[in-house]
Structure 1
Amino acid sequence: MSPTSTTLRRTGTLAALTLAGVLAAAGAASAHVTVHPESYAKGATDGVLSFRVPNEEDTASTTKVQVFLPTDHPVLGVLVTPQAGWTAKVTTTKLKKPVKTDDGTITDAVSEITWTGGRIRHGEFQDFDVAFGQLPDDTGRLSFKTLQTYSDGSVVRWIEEAKAGADEPENPAPALTLTAEGAGAEASNGSGGAAGSDADPAAPSSASSSKDTKESTASDTADDSTARSLGTAGLVVGVLGLIAAGFALARGRNARS
């Protein structure tokens, strides 16, 4: 085999492996189960959390989704939004530490929501909306461990928690950041404060706030998808440049010989 052929073969192999790695990484990054919005104010009231579940399998559909809510920092007043084709089962648990509110002491809270009966096919995603009465005010982060079951029986466990300063885990649990009251755009969702506080006459209605939240979430998601697409495109261009450089090197050697 000539030196030129050897160079071309090695360049092509390296380029193919690099491109495959880039595309695999891009696909994995976009297949995570996530919660939207990504942040709320501590103690926020009367809001909505949307769990976005994409299908990451080529030959199987998602047929079951289980979201586990934390009970050490419970989410109070949970209500499930009906989803066409899906049936929701809500499980409540007795709290080890009851929560005192203006409406009384809460001793039970939702610990699990399971959706079954529907299908999320390849290239599709489903948003599962959950309304809440009040978020905890004694923590800065909530993790919602999730199990995603496919029609072929396989289960993806989105249960790993990200650690500060470390790379994102392979199967991260959906996480919600709780900010100091009044900090960040999401702090305005719901009242964001203690129950019974005076309402601002100039504040938008609950329906308007919910609409603004969804529009903001859609915008953030679009921006994130665009950034990932541009990053992937840049890497692909780099790989193509590597291929071109390999061919140029091979032609130069051939000409000298």
Structure 2
Amino acid sequence: MSFVRRAATVVAAATALTAALALPAFAHVTIQPGTAEQGGFTKVAFRVPNERDNASTTKIEVSFPTEHPLAFVSVKPVPGWTVKVTEGKLPAPVKTEYGDLEEAVTKVVWEGGKINPGEFQEFEVSMGQLPEVDSLMFPTKQTYSGGEVVDWSEAPKADGTEPEHPAPLLKLVPAAEDGATATPATAAASASAAASASGAPSVTPVAAASSSDGTARLLGGAGLVVGIIGVVIGALGLRRRPSA
């Protein structure tokens, strides 16, 4: 029984270690998918995980860029949540192909719902026309039921490392030329549109990529657990072997 207890302890410790290594990649507010084409329109989801064990997320406040404003923004209703879209006057008019843009969406707030511990929620937004810049930041405030507010507003560091509270970042790439190979985001949109036209369920390759990434992490963690168990079982076997 002593051997069984030791093995069980090792498995529990290894599992906890694997979970601890995997959590940082998912422990902040992100925008999915993280890439879109310049000059076009896109649909994104602000993915909000609940990081607290003793409180629920009750409010999400996303700030939209005013230096590169978006002329068109619409939101998808989320059951159990109310949404408020705020428009404001821009510091200076911005020229677009639709004319001078003097006002634009500056903030979107979801509240009234609840994201419990161990859960996440996605808040979808359709927006455009995307500017010809490298990226757009969407600083986000996450409010918990206990009154705590986490401000996800830090820009990426110059050395490429991630800050403690990174803002959701949408990377923008040049639009694919006619006849050129489409980006993954464009291919996903085309596949979804084709599926909708044929009446078949739409499939988003980006989601599949995220699933594959998660599977790879899971398999890597499982390998780590198996390796640790093997080392411990070998050590226990040597200790139990009678000396010559």
Q: 1:103: which partner in 2?
A: 98
Q: 2:117: which partner in 1?
A: 122
1:100 to partner: Cα distance: 1.2
**Paired residues for 1:63-142 under 5 Å:** 63-137=58-132, 139-142=133-136
Change in Cα spacing, 1:221 to 1:41, as seen in structure 2 (3 Å) is same
TM-score normalised to structure 1 length = 0.75
Partner Cα separation in structure 2 for residue 249 and residue 172 of structure 1: 48
Q: In structure 2, which of residues 36, 43, 46 is the aligned counterpart of residue 40 of structure 1?
A: 36
CA RMSD of aligned residues (A): 3.4
Aligned 8 A contact 1:40 1:189 in 2: no
Q: 2:226: which partner in 1?
A: 237
Q: In structure 1, which of residues 145, 152, 160 is the aligned counterpart of residue 154 of structure 2?
A: 160
**Sequence identity (%):** 45
Aligned 8 A contact 1:80 1:130 in 2: yes
Q: Deviations over 1:103-127 (max 9, x none)?
A: 2100122122111000112332211
SS of 1:59's equivalent in the other structure is coil
Partner Cα separation in structure 2 for residue 244 and residue 170 of structure 1: 39
**4+ residue runs of structure 1 moved beyond 6 angstroms?**
12-18, 188-191, 211-214
Partner Cα separation in structure 1 for residue 70 and residue 187 of structure 2: 18
Partner Cα separation in structure 1 for residue 203 and residue 47 of structure 2: 13
Q: How many residues align?
A: 231
1:98 to partner: Cα distance: 2.2
Aligned 8 A contact 2:189 2:204 in 1: no
TM-score normalised to structure 2 length = 0.79
Give 5+ residue unaligned stretches, structure 1: 1-8, 192-203
Aligned 8 A contact 2:188 2:204 in 1: no
Q: 2:18: which partner in 1?
A: 22
Q: Deviations over 1:76-95 (max 9, x none)?
A: 21112221111112222322
Aligned 8 A contact 1:99 1:105 in 2: yes
Partner Cα separation in structure 1 for residue 118 and residue 36 of structure 2: 29
Query: Of the two structures, which has the highest relative contact order with CA contacts closer than 8 Å and spacing of 6 or more?
Result: 1
Aligned 8 A contact 1:190 1:206 in 2: no
Partner Cα separation in structure 2 for residue 166 and residue 13 of structure 1: 38
